Chains A and B, each alone.
Chain A
Amino acid sequence: MIAHLKSREALLMGAIIVLVSLVATRFPGFVTPSNLVAVFTDTSPLMILAIGQMVVILTRCIDLSVAANLALTGMVCAMINVAMPDLPVGVILVVSLVMGAFLGAINGILVWKLDIPPIVVTLGTMTIFRGIIFLLTEGKWINAHEMSAHFTAFPRATILGMPILGWFGIVVALIAVVAMARTKLGRSMYAVGGNPHAAVYTGINVGRTQFYAFVISGMLAGLAGYLWIARYAVAYVDIAAGFELEVVAACVIGGVSIAGGAGTIIGTLLGALFLGVVKNALPVVDISPFWQLAISGAAIIIAVAFNAQSGRSKGRVILKSAEHAQ
């Protein structure tokens, strides 16, 4: 437990607290409970997607199609709402989960059955998904007035002072923590990424595990798709463009090893939260929002350099004296 406190998670937690405190010294309004809840809620889609991405990266893959999946699923939800305004939100949620999972499964099948490198697959599906949105809409936007009220109100409705969007972040995180620690699939993902060769020996199907990872990532992207367009009450082709990079950034900052097999849900959540705090703090401290891209870029590089340093194996120590000296 103590070792855990010294870990990446503690360090990130510290960084977030320092960041928030620094902002608070000059702008106390930033740390009011209501603003903190707003920041958390705003970061919720990033957290949901980052959890999906982490699962994929754990199995030595990467999913660059998440933002496109989000946009496509979100658009389909919006179109369904336009066509059938009275359809309850529950149905829409199921549709978003199923459709997202289906899009993820396409990635997964190509990686599993055809053994195509994940980066190629998801670079491809990323453009294809976006293109399909255009085909569906001919480039038209779906605006707030075309969506029904309950459709857009749902993520913004508050429970115990926090919008449902924020609660979704918490629920997904809780499920993920339990699933990663307490299910065979969750543990298999660490095994597949950590040592695929050994995973085969222990009877784990590496390809199938990667397939499930893509399905989970897609499902969460689909969920975030509905929440996103309902929250902003607008859907168009380029929604969340480039967001996949922020998602990967959250994972890397959270200590997920791009080589697979290492990373925690808590770390990933903190990585997302770190980016969310930066994003929300910039306008408060009157720095142009144009800084955000460069900051997350720098954060990725620093984080990955840090990961490499801490992950660098200590070397096999043969000399007994050297061992004692340490």
Chain B
Amino acid sequence: MQSQKNGSAESSSSTPILQLDQITKTFPGVKALDAVRLSLYPGEVTALIGENGAGKSTVVKTLTGIYQPDGGRILLDGQAIKFDTPQSAADAGVTAIHQETVLFDELTVAENIFIGHAPKTKFGLIDKTAMFDRTAEILDGIGAKIDGRVKLKDLGIASRHLVAIARALSVDARVVIMDEPTAALSQTEIEELYELVDTLKAQGKAILFISHKFDEIFRIADRFTVFRDGQFVGEGEIANVQESDLVQMMVGRAVDQLFPKREADIGETILEVKDYCHPTEFEDINFSLRKGEILGFYGLVGAGRSEFMQSLIGITRPSKGSVEVEGVQQDIRSPAGAIDAGIVYVPEDRGKQGAITDLPIFQNVTLPSLNAISNKGFLQLAEEFKLAREYTERLDLRAASLDTNVGALSGGNQQKVVIAKWLATKPKVIILDEPTKGIDIGSKAAVHDFMSELAAEGLSVIMVSSEIPEILGMSDRVIVMREGRMVAELDGDDMNPETLVRHAVGIASTENVT
């Protein structure tokens, strides 16, 4: 836990516009922020770096007035200020471009940009002419070819993103927060975004740039601040730091320690997927999975991995293709059918798809196995607790009692409940979709450990992950998907970061990839 403060005092003459000082925010079961600090300087980009669960989005919500901190101060130009509503944060000139494009489908582009601060006529009505003119001006300014009069729902993802950026520009912002702004963008669009950031810098705005992509951070940021598990770890100037130092600070230990090597004992083929297609989301998926194998699925966000997995377990219907489990053809029409066939899917979206947060732990664990713990449809409470206890203990769950609601647990423990729940069905194949997204380092290691243990016991694992170290550290084999298709199947020496990224982004030569 070494702290690194090279430079913030000595090299910069300017004073920060906005500072967080000893900010703390607690939620039931988690300390999301623990006395953290953060400084944003005019005309400079500060990268906030940290793993999922480090507290980055809590910082964003604190800065935009959505959350009220439990302790600490927010300083604007050195003066303590309270952002008790989103409006007061906006009034102070803080604006955010969010992870999801949080805008309004049924409103026009111009209305989306100007909602809340539209120009008015002398009768107090919204001045449409002025609004459309200003919209065209702003959109031109960022090189976006979007008509201000169309409804937002008619735009694609990238254009929506530009609208969100335009909105941030339309208010007289002093501080612009960009929360993973490149997540859904193509390479050209990312370059355009970089130019935009340079424009904002030139205008003297302070920019908070949240990303976990190192190439981006080194390309665009002037400063960095690192959080880990809700705590401040270090800050400094990008020019004075190496990538490896940042990783060290983020993770708190050497990376290769995270993924302990294990003995692979791979048996016969369990799952065979042939010519699996979907009308819009993916096509021509072919692969087989063997007993005790961990198969990684890598790709960029939106490559169609989750869509394929959800189709495999019967959430959506494929247009063609076949699935065999242990050589027997399966016709899976629902998750219930998939469970019967021995395939379970641990979804990425824990809150929406994985856990029933307002039900107690034991009821969550037994939900997919109700037939096993009941007699002719009648629940056997003793059996139910027995099953729940068996699997939650295997996963080293930490909770006050088994009838605690899942919603009261921390992200890592929720994920343990969710994994326990599907393991309790005694599957042959378990699909883990981003299994360590948004959970703390400790739980992450436990999940990885456990995955190895499961494979060693002969369970076949499919792991969908966007984290390269995780994919490389855990998988025996990796399938890379791009735009709904399988573009590579890698094992052995081909499994390296460079090859993975090259296939995922679709660059043929190795030169263009960092």
Chain A contact residues, CB within 8 Å of chain B: 178, 181-184, 187-188, 190-191, 194-195, 197-205, 261-262, 315-320, 322
User: Which residues in B have their C-beta under 8 angstroms from that of A316?
Assistant: 280-281, 302
In whole angstroms, what is the CA distance A316 to B85 when docked?
A: 34
Known: A184-B126, A201-B64. A322 touches B107 (CB 8 A): no
**CB of B105, distance to nearest CB on chain A (Å):** 6
User: CB-nearest residue of chain A relative to B151?
Assistant: A3
Write out the residue numbers on chain B whose beta carbons fall within 8 Å of the beta carbon of A199.
104
- B96 & A201 in contact (Cβ 8 Å cutoff): yes
In-complex Cβ contact of B280 among A184, A200, A261, A319 (8 A): A319
Bound-state CA distance A54–B105 (Å) is 18
Q: How far is the CA of A72 from the CA of B302 in the complex (A)?
A: 55
Write out the residue numbers on chain B whose beta carbons fall within 8 Å of the beta carbon of A319: 280-283, 304, 483-485
Q: Give bound CA distance, A201 to B86, whole Å.
A: 6
Q: Evaluate contact between A183 and B126: CB separation under 8 angstroms.
A: yes
Q: A187-B126, A322-B279 given as contacts; is B66 within 8 A of A200 (CB)?
A: yes
With A203-B85, A203-B116, A318-B483 as contacts: A198 and B103 at CB distance below 8 Å:
yes
Task: List 21 A-B pairs, Cβ < 8 Å.
Answer: A183-B124, A187-B107, A187-B118, A188-B115, A190-B104, A191-B107, A194-B107, A195-B103, A201-B96, A201-B102, A202-B86, A203-B85, A203-B90, A204-B115, A205-B85, A315-B281, A316-B280, A318-B280, A318-B307, A319-B282, A319-B484
Decide yes or no whether B330 CB sits under 8 A from chain A. Answer: no
B406 at the binding interface (Cβ < 8 Å):
no
Contact with A along B408-448 (1 / 0, CB 8 A): 00000000000000000000000000000000000000000
Closest partner residue, chain A, to B154 (CB atom)? A3
Identity of the chain B residue whose Cβ is nearest the Cβ of A188 in the assembled complex: B115
Collect the chain A residues with CB atoms within 8 Å of residue B484's CB.
318-319
The complex places the Cα of A315 from the Cα of B317 at a distance, in Å, of: 13
Kindly list chain B residues whose C-beta atoms are within 8 Å of the C-beta of A195.
102-105
Given contacts A203-B86, A318-B307, contact A198 B104 (CB under 8 A): yes
Contact call B66/A261, Cβ cutoff below 8 A: no
Minimum CB–CB distance for A303 against chain B, Å: 18
Please count the residue pairs between chain A and chain B whose beta carbons lie under 8 angstroms apart in the complex: 89
Residues of B within 8 A of A182 (CB): 125-126, 128
Classify chain B's interface size: 20 to 34
Contact B280 A198 (CB under 8 A): no
Nearest to A1 among chain B residues (CB) is B149
The interface residues of chain B, by DSSP majority, are classed as: loop
15 extra interface residue pairs, beta carbon distance < 8 Å, beyond A182-B126, A187-B115, A201-B86? A181-B128, A184-B116, A191-B115, A194-B106, A194-B107, A195-B102, A195-B105, A201-B64, A202-B86, A204-B115, A261-B105, A315-B280, A318-B281, A318-B282, A318-B302
For residue B98, CB closer than 8 A to chain A, the reply is yes
Q: Which of A190, A200, A204, A322 is within 8 Å of B106, CB to CB?
A: A190
B320 to chain A, nearest CB (A): 14
Question: Which residue in chain A gives the minimum CB-CB distance to B88?
Answer: A203
Partner of B303, one of A188, A202, A317, A318: A318
Q: How far is the CB of A3 from chain B (nearest CB, A)?
A: 9
Asked whether any CB of chain A lies closer than 8 Å to the CB of B111, the reply is yes
Q: Which B residues touch A198, using CB under 8 A?
A: 102-104
Complex CA gap A320/B303 in Å reads 11
CA distance A27 to B281 in the complex (A): 55
A182 CA to B128 CA, complexed, in Å = 8
- For chain B, residues 71 to 116, give those with C-beta under 8 angstroms from any C-beta of chain A: 85-87, 90, 96, 98, 102-107, 111, 115-116
Using Cβ atoms and an 8 Å threshold, which residues of chain B touch A190? 104, 106-107
Considering the chains assembled together, what is the distance between the CA atoms of A202 and B107 in angstroms? 14
B105, B118, B125, B280: residue with the most chain A Cβ atoms closer than 10 Å:
B280
Min distance, Cβ A190 to any Cβ of chain B, angstroms: 5
Closest to B85 in A: A203
Residue of B whose beta carbon sits closest to that of A262: B106
Docked-complex contact B280 and A317, CB < 8 angstroms? yes
Would you give the shortest CB distance from B276 to chain A, in whole angstroms?
A: 13
Output the nearest chain A residue to B87 by Cβ-Cβ distance: A203
Closest chain-A Cβ to B187's Cβ sits at a distance in Å of 15
B114 to chain A, nearest CB (A): 9
In the docked arrangement, what's the CA distance between A320 and B107, Å? 27
Give the distance in Å from the alpha carbon of A32 to the alpha carbon of B485 in the complex: 64
Known: A195-B104, A319-B280. A202 touches B483 (CB 8 A): no
B176 to chain A, nearest CB (A): 14
Are A178 and B483 neighbours in the complex by a CB distance under 8 Å? no
A184 lies within 8 A of B118 (CB) = yes
- Complex interface: chain B residues within 8 A of A188 (CB): 115-116
Q: How far is the CB of B90 from chain A (nearest CB, A)?
A: 5
Q: Which residue of B lies closest to A186 (CB)?
A: B126
Q: Using Cβ atoms and an 8 Å threshold, which residues of chain A touch B98?
A: 201
| CB-based contact A322/B280 at 8 Å | yes
Query: B425: shortest Cβ distance to chain A, in Å?
Result: 29
CA distance A195 to B103 in the complex (A): 7
Residue among B102, B125, B280 making CB contact with A178, cutoff 8 Å: B125
How far, in angstroms, from A237 to B98 measured CA to CA in the complex? Answer: 53
Chain B nearest CB from A258 CB (Å) reads 14
Nearest-neighbour CB distance to chain B for A200, whole angstroms, equals: 6
Q: How far is the CA of A198 from the CA of B96 in the complex (A)?
A: 11
Tell me which of B64, B115, B307 has the highest count of chain A C-beta atoms within 10 A of its own C-beta.
Answer: B115
Residues of A within 8 A of B106 (CB): 190, 194, 261-262
A202 to B85, CA, bound (A): 10
On chain B, the residues within 8 Å of A205 by CB distance are: 85
Nearest to B102 among chain A residues (CB) is: A198
Residue of B nearest to A178 (CB): B125
CB-CB nearest 4 A-B residue pairs? A198-B102, A203-B87, A182-B125, A318-B484
Structural contact, B115 and A202, CB atoms closer than 8 A: yes
B85 cross-chain contacts in A, Cβ below 8 A: 203, 205
- The smallest beta-carbon distance between A8 and chain B, in angstroms, is 13
A23 → B minimal CB distance (Å): 35
Counting chain A CB atoms within 10 Å of each CB, the highest count among B90, B116, B124 belongs to B116
Chain B residues positioned under 8 Å from A187 (CB to CB): 107, 111, 115, 118, 126
CA distance A188 to B106 in the complex (A): 11
The docked-state distance in angstroms from the alpha carbon of A322 to that of B304 is: 13
> Which parts of B331-358 form the interface with A (CB within 8 Å)?
none
Once bound together, how far apart are the Cα atoms of A202 and B96, in whole Å? 10
Give the docked Cα–Cα distance between A202 and B281 (Å): 32
Which residues of the partner chain A approach B307 to less than 8 Å between Cβ atoms? 318
Please give me the residue from chain A that is nearest to B60 by CB atom.
A201
Please give me the residue from chain B that is nearest to A319 by CB atom.
B484
Which A residue's beta carbon lies closest to that of B107? A190
Separation of A258 and B484 alpha carbons in the complex (Å): 34
User: Which residues from chain A contact B302 at a C-beta distance below 8 Å?
Assistant: 316, 318
Closest residue on chain A to residue B90 by CB atoms: A203
Question: Binary interface profile of B, 8-47, with partner A (CB < 8 Å = 1, else 0)?
Answer: 0000000000000000000000000000000000000000
Smallest beta-carbon distance B269→chain A, Å: 28
Give chain B nearest CB distance to A209 CB in angstroms.
Answer: 12
Distance to closest chain B CB from A81 (angstroms): 35
On chain A, the residues within 8 Å of B304 by CB distance are 318-319
Cβ of B111: which chain A residues have Cβ within 8 Å of it?
187
**Minimum Cβ distance to chain A for residue B89 (Å):** 8
